[in-house]
Chains A and B, each alone.
Chain A
Amino acid sequence: MKFGIGQSVHRTEDARLLRGEGRYTDDIVPPRSTRMYVVRSPHAHARIGAIDTAAALASPGVVGILTGADAAEDALGGFPTMVRGTAPGGGESLEPPLPVLALGTARYAGEPVAIVIAETVDEAKTAAELLTIEYEPLPGVPSLADAFAANAPLVWPECPGNLHTRDSFGDKAAVDAAFDGAATVVDLDIVVSRVAVSSMEPRTALGIWDENEGRYELTAGVQSPHMIRGLLANCIFKVPLNRIRVAAHDVGGGFGMKGVPHPELALVLWAARRFGRPVRWVAERSESFLSDCHSRDHLAHCELALDENAKFLALRYRGKANLGPYMTLANMHCAFGNIGHLSGVYTFVAVHAEVETYFTNTVPIGPYRGAGRPEATVVVERLVDKAAMKLGMDPADLRERNLIPADQFPFNTGFVFTYDSGDYPEGLRIAREASDWDGFEQRRIASLRRGKLRGIGMAQVVEIAVGLMDEMGSITIEADGSVTIGTGFHNHGQGQETTMRQLASEFLSVPPEKIRYLPSDTDEQPSGFGSAGSRAAVVGGVLIQTIAEKLIAKAKRVAAVLLEADAEEIEFHDGTFSARRTNRSATLAEVAQLAHQPMRLPEGVEAGLSHKQMIRVDGPTFPNACHVCEVEIDPETGKTEFVSYVVCEDVGKAINPMIVAGQMHGGVAQGLGQVLGEFIAYDEDGQLQTGSFMDYQMPRALDLPNIRTIANNVPSPNNPLGIKGAGESGTVGALPAGLNAVCNALQPLGIEHFDMPATPMRVWKAIRDAGGMARLRAAVDAP
């Protein structure tokens, strides 16, 4: 099959995107459209007093202004959390939903306080400048560390110490016992910095109110139209599901951030209803920094216990996670949901984790590629390198010694997860060889001769994919044999438009030009869960296969009529139905044609050839990979350069290896970006200091290395196609591999750990504080 599973076919969607004919939300301009401008709190924490709209309302082009009071009057709700916590003392924890407009109090700089609807953005902005809003600034909590400081101001008076929840995982007694008997213990304090997701297409939304149907229509850059529709219907507007339509056409990157609802999605719809005109909104980049959910932002203290043979015994973790001031759909998921990854790819006797979540006056936290996986994984992988340093072992050898053997799958980690399959030792071997790991010391010396510090870092990682296991899909075969498929997934760069067609082509033996993939629109298909958590390939594979099989069974009954045989005698192969023990056969198109002529069908044979159903896959999958990153640091300036990168990945099975490699490249880049220099910083007043691309270092072509990808696929037993998923793997591995490489470069200076980001200034200061290169020369010259 030329277009089936395993083929690196070029993407169907590319021609459109390359011609500039993509259909992103802001490209759509319905008649009578207006523009929305969101007036945001300039304070991190402030009581909101009187809002005087008179002058702004009189400004040219203004259609209307709405505030939190109006939202309250219309009884608009807020967006809730998907994961609930337990209060520190037991009972339910305080879980303030994300409001669409602040009422009474603003709790982060950038929180929506009012919206101005006008004919143009410039007019809306000018009107906004005429709006007078009284603020009474309150003491705030500008960072996670400030949240648990003594006498910290409170984000919520009813939440003492800003501590939202405390929870623990694993067997504490077993871990304590293992530490008591350990030959070696290493510990580490680690910062997982806060970053901005920064999809290249900013968040965007277009709201239309259909007065005749009494129905809201949202077109937006979102990853999960159905989930957004459900939340808008149930939580914000409290209307039946079919009174809201959500469509997402081309979306310029999501990375998890566009999977969670943000206030503007509700605001454009609400304003459209209130003012009776379509309302368009697109964030400006500086607005994105102020209002897109930020990500990561954990602090952890962790310890690793090893026995006398350098076998891992136990891992102990005490982590703190920032939530922002409100619950978002997934901030608790990022804090807790993937804590299971603390057990890594290794055999541990026991792992124990205690996690606390805190409220702060910062932009709410949301998921970003990995969503808790990179945060947990960087802890394990840094601990492994630190242990290797303490033991004087090669970090690759130490990993190898502790990897889960290939014959131990499915492997119950004894902590949270049971891994499906993999050959971790083989992955390590391949990556080690491809990166010339064993020849590194020569390269380190060569770099030193040029006055540079060179470092190599390995990370061997595993991550859960397919947390959301349900999905709905449909396939319709028309009278001429052309095929239309629909799923609840959303393509915002991952290539599902192509891979879903490859799957359909595989199972129905239909050439790609006869397959259409439906746009992501809740009117096209009423149910679905969207794209998140590296799930589309796995769930989509099972989904398309299941539906295709149902359709073929149905078609066989029709073919039996055409071929004058019993349905049981009909075989389907390579696009052709044939009757066993005869030379009679019919194409899918011929069968489809008959299926659409009910008059020619005998009683009991159902006409039409379409099927729609929901499925649930058997279990999560565990893509895994071994990453090796090499860096060179200029000690004079502190500038870090990535010089090479190898990733040997196990995605189970690749539907399209070209796309899998692309996902690896992009994932790795996002991990390395955080290592190199992406970070969100607030000042002591909770004002964003890295609020534009002038201050926030988006990695550019010069900042990143060529990335070599090598497959080491072991099919997953948890689904019939053996697919594991590929979306997040790159980031999960690159964050620790990149950081290990930087730390390894600094290690000869006696530096045991260096926290991300490796900005030139931070690296230069670390080198200087360690005594500079002079110290290194002294160490080299020492007998």
Chain B
Amino acid sequence: MHAFDYHRASDVTSSLALQRQLGDSRFLAGGQSLLPMMKLRFAQTANIVDLRDCDELCGIAVEYETLRIGAMTRHADVAASKDVREAIPALADLAGWIGDPMVRSRGTMGGSIANADPSACYPSACLALAATINTTGGDIDADDFFLGVFETSLGEGELVTGAEFAIPDAASYQKFRHPASRFALAGVFVARFGEIVRVGVTGAARSGVYRWLEAEEALSRQFSVEALEGIHTPITEMNSDVQADAEYRAHLVDTMTRRAVLDAMTRSRD
């Protein structure tokens, strides 16, 4: 890694002030994405502001129709949370499938969302669960938050503090792991709220995470696998690499969507 100075403050306000004062700096949450990038010298910064002591960013709360997860809540804690398991079991599943146990010990929801890795799992849940992303600048609808590959609407010095997920009647996350990296080659989060269905897709598209509107419309008319017949992911939008070309990725999105619908139907709350 290139050299940098390490800083830490005890709460969000002072972390923000510190970051502003330092100039060239980056926030460090769990570090499971940022540090690998810095180790390979793909990223560098003069200063790191570690958020580990910002206790107000940790925690899980269920309030009426919403599940709120603090930005610094670790994947392992989300996966093991009874509240999450009861409110949105698919979200607990998702957290439990991120990386591996060691990565889940460190990695945080906020870090995952703010990084907007096109293969990360959480962004698909944010879209499908109509999440509101809480930031130090205010609230942002997930639909407006993810702009592209590693791109969000976060402004300079703006920090994700948490996310509020709408609690669906039924949901499922289906992930097909990349054979080597084990990130999502195609991860599909399907959530049904009454008759409204939302579908978030990660890992597959060139432009990063997206909502698959065509599938949503069809599933909102009729929540069944049959409703998806004749609906296919556009290949031209898909990413391509040595393990999976665009055609295969598109097929996987179709397949994972069908499986998510099937799974959600069997786990429906109503």
Contacts and interface: CB of A to CB of B under 8 A. Distances in A.
A contacts B: CB pair < 8 Å: yes
Q: Is the interface of A mostly helix, strand, loop or mixed?
A: loop
A638 B252 CA distance: 10
B231 interface: no
A198 to B, nearest CB: 12
A698 B255 CA distance: 25
Interface string A680-692: 0100000001100
A698 B178 CA distance: 12
A693 interface: yes
Interface in A104-135: 122, 125-126
Contacts of B252: 637
B255 A636 contact: yes
Contacts, number: 47
Contacts of A693: 180-181
29 contacts: A122-B2, A122-B3, A125-B41, A286-B40, A637-B252, A638-B248, A677-B179, A681-B242, A689-B241, A689-B242, A690-B242, A693-B180, A693-B181, A694-B180, A694-B181, A695-B180, A695-B181, A695-B241, A696-B180, A697-B179, A697-B180, A700-B182, A759-B179, A760-B179, A760-B244, A760-B248, A761-B248, A764-B251, A765-B248
Q: Is the interface of B mostly helix, strand, loop or mixed?
A: loop
Nearest to B248: A761
B176 interface: yes
A696 B242 CA distance: 10
Contacts of A696: 180
Interface of B: 1-3, 40-41, 176, 179-182, 241-245, 248, 251-252, 255
B78 to A, nearest CB: 22
A637 B242 contact: no
Nearest to B36: A694
A636 B252 CA distance: 8
Contacts of A765: 248
Ranked nearest first, the 8 interchain pairs of A and B with the lowest CB-CB distance are A697-B180, A694-B181, A761-B248, A697-B179, A689-B242, A677-B179, A681-B242, A761-B244
Nearest to A761: B248
Contacts of B181: 693-695
B2 A637 contact: no
Nearest to A638: B248
A410 B248 CA distance: 52
Interface in A278-301: 286
A761 B242 CA distance: 10
A679 to B, nearest CB: 9
Interface string A746-761: 0000000000000111
Contacts of B248: 638, 760-761, 764-765
Contacts of B3: 122
Nearest to B256: A637
Contacts of A694: 180-181
B180 A126 contact: no
A677 B242 CA distance: 11
Nearest to B242: A689
Given A636-B255, A637-B252, A760-B248, 10 more contacts: A125-B41, A126-B2, A637-B176, A638-B248, A677-B179, A695-B241, A696-B180, A697-B243, A759-B179, A760-B244
Nearest to B100: A700
Nearest to B252: A637
A125 B1 CA distance: 9
B243 A761 contact: yes
Contact of B245 (A122, A690, A761): A761
A636 B3 CA distance: 47
Interface string A78-114: 0000000000000000000000000000000000000
A759 B179 CA distance: 8
B34 to A, nearest CB: 16
Contacts of B180: 677, 690, 693-698
B256 to A, nearest CB: 9
